[in-house]
Amino acid sequence: MTTFGPYELQGLLGRGGMGEVYRAFDREQGRVVALKLLAMSMADDAGLAERFKRGSYLAARLNDPHVIPIHRSGEIDGRLYIDMRLVNGSDLATIIDRDGPLPLARAVAIIAQAAEALDAAHAENLIHRDVKPSNLLVTPHGFVYLVDFGIAHVIGVLATEKALTATGTTIGTLDYMAPERFLGRNDVGARADVYSLACVLYECLTGQRPFVVDGLPALMHAHLSTAPPAVTDALPDLPASLDHIIARGMAKDPAKRYATAGEFAAEVGRTAHDWAPRRAPTTMTAVHSPWVPATPATYQSTPDVSQEDWRLTATPPAPPSSRRSQKVAGWLVAGAGLVAVAVLVGVLLGRVSFGTDADVPRESGSANGALTSESATGDGGQPSGLPTEPATGGDLGLSTPVSNPSCNGTYVTFVGAAVTPGAYRCEVAQLLASYPGSSYLLSELSCSSLRARSADGGSIYAVYLGPFASPAEACAARDLTGGESYVKILDELSPPEQEQPC
């Protein structure tokens, strides 16, 4: 089958218990989508068909950036379908299977975003009831989506619930199921999802599910009676307070758990924040994991430039005598003070495909630009090959070509810039290496919404993540990088001084 109604099926993305998901082109809307089709073998099962339709209906009720938008759903030629946004990413279960335990910072970022989606669902009286790693989709830039609302429960509506469980079975994934759900209680609420989220955090950090036992009876007994395992038993370097947080999240009594997923995630985040400065960066990475951050370049900040000078200032300060690279600034913001080069701690942004080029690891296909050779000789004692002026088209001759993103209303997260004549190539290469998956542009050849040149008229090479379709995704990337990275829209209308609020 190559067509399905108005859809051209371009390839199978995955197959699950209830059907298949295809990459498809919607000829009516002119867009590529993810098309989920109910398996033909289940078409005559009224209960499963209802569950399939219900999942799309409940997800469509939610207006949260961490829930994949549903375009439409229905039935074509007797087969149910759901048309949703196509998201490039991997589910968390696949990431853990492939990479092993995740660094604490990475786990915190994932849990925080999942918690946001759960709190949005709970605000609509929806209990997801199947929170697990395979239902968390993570994009290459670290944005997280909560998926599969097929067995979600609407608080206070029992008729549908009884119809969907007429066989007497408990629906959900047992490894992450709250104790009250095993008991068949009718008062299951949002804290059941908090329990599951705590189980997911444990698996993120250890690479194993909380209870690894043989057989269903033993698994039920563990959830009902066995104390939650301690993360520090497997990873003694992690803060002991994580054990208490997960234990509270997995408390047998729902009343003793965190009231909301957001409260749980915030507590985890505070613990990670308080602990991180005391740890060496390498202790937060798995040895074999592609999430390992690149070692950031070491730049010397100019001592007479205050932090306030890096952003918009009424009176720009005089440039320092030595134009050394400095921390991230408002280098693409009109009217900014002294512009500078960003050097932030390398972070774990998502699944990145690393190439064989030695100087810059990058995500495949994230930038466009023509490679041009240049042999300019830098001034001030700079070695040859480091141009004092941008080469033709702005390309610096790196393995990552200069990009020219479209000015079409998408968003980017800027993480640093190079403004030192004679050192553009070196500084950009260091930034690209520190931020796997990043790209660079020459602002004077880019969109009008970006500042074209520095305060003294020099060129600005900016390194960025994206583009992203929504500001929420760009802001998530900004939150992951930390420091003073910021988000801007790419268009020809917005003033250069305007930043995207997050």
Catalytic residues: 130
Phi, psi of 367 (to 5 degrees): -145, 155
Tokens describing residue 293: 């951050």
Distance, CA of 226 to CA of 218 (rounded, Å): 10
d(CA 323, CA 11): 52
Burial of 15 (0-12, 13-18, 19+ CB in 10 A): exposed
Q: CA end-to-end span of the chain, whole Å?
A: 44
Q: How many residues does the chain have?
A: 502
Give the whole-angstrom CA distance, residue 474 versus residue 438: 13
Among 428, 434, 462, 430, smallest CA distance to 446 is for: 462
Q: Using CA atoms, how far apart are residues 98 and 269, in angstroms rounded to an integer?
A: 25
Measured CA angle at 314 (ends 309, 319), to 5 deg: 45
| Tokens at 410, concatenated | 């998408």
Identify which of 139, 134, 38, 126 has the alpha carbon closest to the alpha carbon of residue 94. 134
Separation between Cα atoms, residue 303 and residue 306, nearest integer Å = 8
Rounded to 5 degrees, φ, ψ at 445 are -105, 10
